[in-house]
Chain A
């Protein structure tokens, strides 16, 4: 899903963003099916509803040199970076052809060839690592910008605060991106922070913070583009709080008893795919064009899943390899 809005007209760019987001959504739906069927096992964290953050951010970056450090809720990031979905299915299915040969699984996969430097299953741990990649950019003339993505719950992790301070004193080209879906796993984040205006946290460290509508893919793209420009110019980090809604549980199997009645119905009205589709129609794309686009994604996802399922399991013969150089 390489987004290349620079060479495309605004409609084409929006179409590509929609395609990326729809691919992410259908990927997650297919993973849900595979998990229920027992083909995918273990803990799986889906990102349904948060797709605009991934598509918008990656469209604003130059992934030939910029890199992202997502969380365990990282399928969407990986797809938005451009990794092949067949290899992602294969990874979740424990196949030899998986992105990491089945060693990463759903919650700890990486695709560095596409600028995706690894999910992280330790909340907040990616922030200092992304900061280190940005530190390297101040020595290697790469012009690299690093994105540390994490959830709202991670703002209560010390490592994130160490990273923000370190990045700020050295003016490092890193973007701290909070995917605020209002839940720290199963707990309402507002009850776990004295102020739920999380973007304000950056002010203590002397760099800008901004809250945006994370379900507006255009707003995400524009905000990240400006943050990246700033970072590349040596002006230091930015904290972006992208407000969104998780349309699913924290993990597959989460009973979601913490939800208010009607909460998800409201969220479905403002979710990014609904909005982006409406924008495409408003811009003159026809219903049948949109349907054709969706049909293509449906076919691609189904085909990728089928091929991954048919590929051989990860070979136990290699299980001891790659511990050291």
Chain B
């Protein structure tokens, strides 16, 4: 596909990636609840049914049939892209992801494979109920055999989705509805599809490494901007892929800055932030301050905006916590 750059929203970038996959790979199918004729509950798959006909279709509200159906089709050579409307809904069919898709290649020594892509979206939003607000990436990332990514920008939404579809193993792409219809940004389309994996430095810095993923990145970048004004230089690392997990990129950054913070929207307890901190501890790198984890506390996710604001880390709270982290060690030194 020839390369070009277009101004697109996040949702349009996802649509472009799906369109390219359906055009270039005849073995792809696209299905899920409301994705065909309605064009998706968030409008992400708009126009694809018209363009690709029967290969894009609506399904019953049956997540086990959607995911199991994708796996069965993949076992015999198709490359299905299944949408689960909300990440919370994957929980009713987790069997198909964890007991089925994650196992087949390993147990059959490659005689069977399940190259499925599951597109879903997660995260809190004002007024969303506790069953439409969770951040579940750690559950998927815990499972060997799965691949998980969380694109934060329109460009990443395009690139990571194509990497997932091109990959020969099951991949879960977790998008975020809050950014679907935001500002347009220039997105490079076409060009080679990258293999899965690899973190990206979003903002270089020297005083502290702030590891993050998903759209929490935008709050972290906002916090980094505030901290710059206070004389603190943050290096912001977007993990992009949570499995495979680019620990080398974390270690390289921490080796430069000597300080570590992890910020995510998911619950802190047993979350991936713990994996980041443990991996740095095991690496033997010396930190000049104790590492910081910032995420949701141990509560369910409330609907009311005033309650929600207390639960999900905000840019000012991130800035304040990182400020404290850096200053306590500067004073100690």
Which A residues are closer than 8 A to B by beta carbons? 67, 69, 100-101, 103-104, 108, 110, 112-113, 117-118, 120-122, 125, 127-137, 139-140, 142, 144, 146, 158-159, 162-163, 165-166, 169, 321-325
Indicate if B169 sits at the interface (CB-CB under 8 A): yes
CA distance A19 to B72 in the complex (A): 31
Q: In the complex, which residue of chain A has the Cβ closest to the Cβ of B59?
A: A166
Selected A-B contacts with CB under 8 Å, 6 pairs: A100-B109, A103-B109, A125-B96, A128-B69, A128-B72, A133-B72
Task: Assess A162 versus B65: contact at CB under 8 Å? Given A323-B145, A324-B105.
Answer: yes
What are the residues of chain B within 8 A of A132 when measuring CB–CB? 68-75, 80
Contact residues in A for B105 (Cβ distance below 8 Å): 322-325
Beyond known contacts A103-B106, A162-B62: 7 more, CB 8 A cutoff: A104-B108, A110-B108, A112-B111, A113-B111, A117-B75, A140-B77, A166-B59
Question: Which residues on the A side are within 8 Å of B72 (C-beta)?
Answer: 69, 128-136, 146
Q: A136-B72, A140-B76 are in contact. Are A128 and B64 (CB under 8 A)?
A: yes
* Residues of B participating in the A interface, judged by any CB pair closer than 8 Å: 29, 54-55, 59-60, 62-65, 67-78, 80, 93, 95-96, 99-100, 103-113, 144-145, 147, 167-169
A5 to B71, CA, bound (A): 32
User: If the complex has contacts A103-B106, A129-B75, A136-B76, are A118 and B112 also in contact, measured as CB distance less than 8 A?
Assistant: yes
What's the Cα separation between A270 and B130 when bound, in Å?
56
A321 CB contacts on chain B under 8 angstroms: 109
On chain A, the residues within 8 Å of B71 by CB distance are 128-129, 132
Whether B68 pairs with A159 at a CB distance below 8 angstroms is: yes
Among A104, A131, A135, the most chain B Cβ lie within 10 Å of the Cβ of: A135
Asked if A128 and B109 sit within 8 Å, CB to CB, the answer is no
A-B pairs with the 3 shortest C-beta distances? A132-B72, A128-B68, A132-B69
Query: Given contacts A117-B112, A139-B78, A144-B76, is CB(A322)–CB(B64) below 8 Å?
Result: no
User: Which residue of chain B has its CB nearest to the CB of A158?
Assistant: B64
Neighbouring A residues of B74 by C-beta, 8 Å: 132
Inter-subunit contact A104/B76 (CB<8 Å): no
Task: Using CB atoms, name the residue of chain A closest to B26.
Answer: A139
Q: CB distance B113 to A166 under 8 Å?
A: no
Q: Which residues of B contact A146 (CB under 8 A)?
A: 72
CB proximity of B106 to chain A, nearest CB, Å = 5
CA distance A140 to B78 in the complex (A): 8
Q: Which residue in B59, B68, B78, B144 is a CB contact (below 8 Å) of A129?
A: B68
Distance of A127 Cα from B68 Cα, bound (Å) = 8
Are B169 and A325 in contact, CB atoms less than 8 angstroms apart? yes
A231 to B50, CA, bound (A): 28
**Contact present for B78 and A323 (CB under 8 Å):** no
Give Cα distance in the complex from A136 to B76, angstroms: 7
Compute how far the CA of A103 lies from the CA of B104 in the bound complex, rounded to whole angstroms: 10
Which residue of chain B is the closest to A129 with respect to CB atoms? B72
CB distance from A261 to the nearest CB of B (A): 38
A139 and B55 form a contact (CB under 8 A) = yes
Q: How far is the CB of A105 from chain B (nearest CB, A)?
A: 9
CB-CB under 8 A from A137, the residues of chain B are 76
Check A142 against B99 for contact (C-beta < 8 Å).
no
Distance (whole angstroms) from the CB of A106 to the closest CB of chain B = 13
Contacts A139-B55, A140-B76 given: A322-B68 contact, CB under 8 Å?
Answer: no
A38 smallest CB distance to B (angstroms): 24
Which residues of the other chain, A, contact B96 by a CB distance below 8 angstroms?
A: 125, 128-129, 159
Contact present for A162 and B64 (CB under 8 Å): yes
Q: Is the CB of A133 within 8 A of B109?
A: no
A157 to chain B, nearest CB (A): 9
Who on chain A is nearest to B110 by CB? A322
- Knowing A159-B95, A325-B168, the reply to whether A112 touches B69 (Cβ < 8 A) is no
State the CA gap A36–B26 with chains docked (Å): 51
Complex contact B112–A112 (CB within 8 A): yes
B36 to chain A minimum Cβ distance, whole angstroms, is 12
Q: Are A166 and B109 in contact, with the CB atoms below 8 A?
A: no
CA gap between A140 and B100 in the complex, in Å: 23
Which of A120, A129, A166, A324 sits near B60, CB closer than 8 Å? A166
User: Given A139-B78, A140-B77, A325-B168, are A110 and B107 also a contact pair (CB < 8 Å)?
Assistant: yes
CB proximity of B108 to chain A, nearest CB, Å:
5
CB neighbours (8 Å) of A129 from chain B are 68-69, 71-72, 75, 96, 100
